Amino acid sequence: MESVIQSVYEAHFGPFRFCPVCGKPLERKCLKVNEPARLVCTVCSFVLYQDPKLVACTILRKGGRIALLRRAIQPEKGKWVMPGGYVDRGEKAEAAAVRETLEECGLKSRIERLFGVYSYEGQPNVVLVFIASPVDGDFHPDDETSEVGWFSREEIPWGDLAFQSTVDALHDFFADRGTA
């Protein structure tokens, strides 16, 4: 029973058990009515806010097709995604999308505009999706990618996409634009 409680705890609060200020145990505590429980130090009362993690992705367009990458790492290894990844603290989201696109598939890109924001209840990530165009580089797989490709709407492997945000963003993109 204790392992089930620990699993539920970690799903909602992460693996954090000790205060980053004084090292004493953390406990869940409701600090204000109508707010979720927070992790609070049992000794110094430090509140550990677990803020969402920002992800920046691109719908990279070229010649009526979009770029998709097959993941070479977990989670969702072997599934297809848009280029993207985590935004570093202090980094502009647009710059992160350009950086991640270059790191994952070798293409320098130009952001055209923010397309959409995707978040899901119980999930820590908030996904920003930008429309972008390639400007330079050699389209190839890199460390986190095993395969790259340009896909028309009809060619997208809809049943083999990683992450709900990928599915939702691509459905929204094609509904909004009609074509790539």
Sorted by where each begins, the domain ranges of the chain are: 2-48, 53-177
* Structural Rg of the chain based on CA atoms: 19
Both structure tokens of 180: 């790539």
Distances (CA, A) of 96 to 13, 31, 86: 26, 34, 7
Predicted pLDDT at 11? 53
pLDDT > 70 in the chain, percent? 90
Average pLDDT, the chain: 90
* pLDDT of residue 83 exceeding 60: yes
Confidence tier at 15 by pLDDT (50, 70, 90): confident
Alpha helix segments (H runs only) across 14-151: 93-105
pLDDT tens for each residue of 139-168: 999 989 999 999 999 999 999 999 999 999
pLDDT tens for each residue of 46-60: 999 888 899 999 999
Angle at 83 between CA 77 and CA 86, to 5 degrees: 85
Predicted pLDDT at 178? 52
Choose which CATH entry (3.30.930.10, 3.70.10.10, 3.40.190.10, 3.90.79.10) describes domain 53-177: 3.90.79.10
pTM: 0.81
Contact 165, 84 (CB under 8 A): no
